[in-house]
Amino acid sequence: MTSGIYPRPAKPPCACGKPRLAGGKCTGCYTRARRARRSPGQVQLDRRRAADLKKLWYAGLAPEKKRAHIRYNALRRYGLTQAGFDGLLAKQGGVCALCHLPPAAGEVLRVDHNHRCCAARPFCGRCVRGLLHHRCNTWLAAIEEPEFLAAATAYLKKYP
């Protein structure tokens, strides 16, 4: 006696050999085909929307979550471990390596690295120089460019 339940016939695999899911294609092939149909203007609009959504998400984070996010990205980007970050901070005495002031309450010191060492990502980790305030790191990046430094010096000399 049969129960009336028959096994479903197996779906033929996608052209790439993976099991098919949507539209007769695997997830990867379906996504690539969908993206290929978009116009360059639509691609740019999608990127802008994604960036706007990320800004909204980040703005809604609590301050401690923002600090954790900044630290996580720094560790991942520069190949540091938490112990390496903490060791670098301890070696600097818990202060900014440039101005020697402690971070403000809730501020996270940023990783300073040599831009000439690793032009491509991922970074090697040997180019990390120290931990700086966001402001100090921004100033240092501007000063490292000789043309900018010369232009800034000339500008300041105009107004003694």
Query: What residues contact residue 132 under an 8 Å CB cut-off, 6+ apart?
Result: 96, 97, 98, 109, 110, 112, 140
pLDDT at 125: 67
Q: For 51-73, give the DSSP string.
A: HHHHHHHHHTS-HHHHHHHHHHH
**Nearest-CA neighbor of 141 among 112, 99, 100?**
112
Tens of pLDDT, residue by residue over 60-117, are 988 888 888 888 888 888 888 888 888 989 999 999 999 999 998 878 888 888 877 7
Element (H, E) at 140: helix 134-143
pLDDT at 92: 94
Tens of pLDDT, residue by residue over 41-56, are 888 898 999 999 999 9
By the 8 A CB rule, do 79 and 123 touch?
yes
Domain residue ranges of the chain, discontinuous segments joined by +:
61-158
- Please state the rounded mean pLDDT for residues 16-28: 81
- With 60 as the cut, is the pLDDT of residue 11 above it? yes
User: What percent of the chain shows pLDDT beyond 90?
Assistant: 20
Question: Could you tell me the pLDDT band of residue 4, with boundaries at 50, 70 and 90?
Answer: low
pLDDT at 155: 92
More confident residue, 135 or 106: 135
What pTM, to 2 d.p., does this model score? Answer: 0.58
Least confident of 7-16, 29-38, 54-63, 86-95: 7-16
Q: Which CATH fold would you assign to the domain 61-158?
A: His-Me finger endonuclease fold (3.40.1800)
